[in-house]
Amino acid sequence: MTTTLTVGTLARTLGVSEKAVRLWTDRGLLDATRTGEGAPRAYGPEQVVRGRTITLLRALDVSLADVATVLDSADPVAEFDELWGAVRASLEGRLAAAGYVRSVLAGQPALDVPHEVRDVPARLLLTLGGSATLGELAGLIPALTNRLFVALTETGATLAGVPSVQYHERATEHSAARLTVRVPVAAPCAPPPGMALVAEEAGREIVVVLDQDRAADQSFIVAVHDHVALAAGDGSLAVVGDNRESYLPTWGRGLGGPVLEISAPVVPR
């Protein structure tokens, strides 16, 4: 006869609350049976092993959705390694951002990230503005970019570089920031309603290039934007315009290497 466990017994065995066991069951992480309608849930002994694994993963702040992905994977070890690698990269970004905040508090801003100063040729930009909070940016930027690409097709204009976003303010979770998405075009075109064609003069910019792991960490991105806005803190340059983000063709494709450039126009002091 197979011994089964009640919700309470399983909860005590795992060292968690009965509410947690019920939640994990409702989410499909644990498997329970009932002997009839209205009968209490019963768990087989194999659910203890699974429950202990869930407890360990939750102790690492792994979300329930990610717990399910790991446990139900054909190769849970590989799935966990991929998940934890992303967490580790995020932690490294937060540690770097925290170090930058400390340097700012000490009055000596310093961020351990390479930068370069480069010449930027004159160019024509088809632009479209919008505004978004920090949480809305991930949806708004692709939407505006897609509208610009549709406009390129409709007007017969030729794309002449990578898209970029110009931030006129800094977005927060509760405060929307004005921004402009820009795509360079090879020749003048008639912009559709709501868009504008802007001629940007040649100049220089300070640039920080990031890989996908660093670009995925919001706290590190904020630190880089601040770092760039100070012209990398060396005192020889002055920023004369809004910060920009340029999305390279490798963005979001998991190919490694540079995916994002954060820049600002500069002139010598």
Average pLDDT in the 90-109 region?
A: 88
The residue with greater pLDDT, 254 or 125, is: 125
The set of residues, in sequence order, having a beta carbon less than 8 Å from that of 119 and lying 6+ positions away, is 202, 203, 204
> How far, in Å, CA of 71 to CA of 77, rounded?
9
What residues form DSSP beta bridges with 5? 43
Average pLDDT in the 230-238 region?
A: 80
Residues in the chain: 269
Average pLDDT in the 26-38 region?
A: 85
**pLDDT tens per residue across span 46-56:** 999 999 999 99
**pLDDT tens per residue across span 205-218:** 999 999 887 888 88
First to last CA, the chain: 84
Average pLDDT, the chain: 90
Spatial CA neighbour of 30 closest among 68, 65, 60: 68
What residues form DSSP beta bridges with 185? 124, 159
Confidence bin at 188 (pLDDT 50/70/90): very high
Average pLDDT in the 152-181 region?
A: 92
Average pLDDT in the 86-102 region?
A: 86
Q: What is the pLDDT of residue 80?
A: 95
What single-letter amino acid sits at 234?
Answer: D
Spatial CA neighbour of 48 closest among 14, 17, 92, 12: 14
Q: What is the pLDDT of residue 92?
A: 83
> How far, in Å, CA of 14 to CA of 219, rounded?
35
Q: What is the pLDDT of residue 204?
A: 95
Q: In the block, which residue shows the tokens 């932690």?
A: 91
The H-or-E segment that residue 173 falls in is none
For 4-163, list the strands marked E by DSSP: 116-120, 123-132
Confidence bin at 35 (pLDDT 50/70/90): confident
Handedness of CA 137, 253, 82, 84 (dihedral sign): negative
pLDDT at 2 over 70: no
Specify the pTM: 0.73
Average pLDDT in the 250-259 region?
A: 81
**pLDDT tens per residue across span 119-136:** 999 999 999 999 999 889
> How far, in Å, CA of 57 to CA of 80, rounded?
9
Q: What is the pLDDT of residue 88?
A: 85
The encoded tokens of residue 149 equal 């690409």
The set of residues, in sequence order, having a beta carbon less than 8 Å from that of 109 and lying 6+ positions away, is 100, 103, 226, 227, 230, 233
- Between the CA of residue 6 and those of 35, 45, 56, 93, what are the distances in Å? 12, 11, 21, 43
Q: What is the pLDDT of residue 129?
A: 97
Contact 172, 133 (CB under 8 A): yes
Q: What is the pLDDT of residue 231?
A: 80
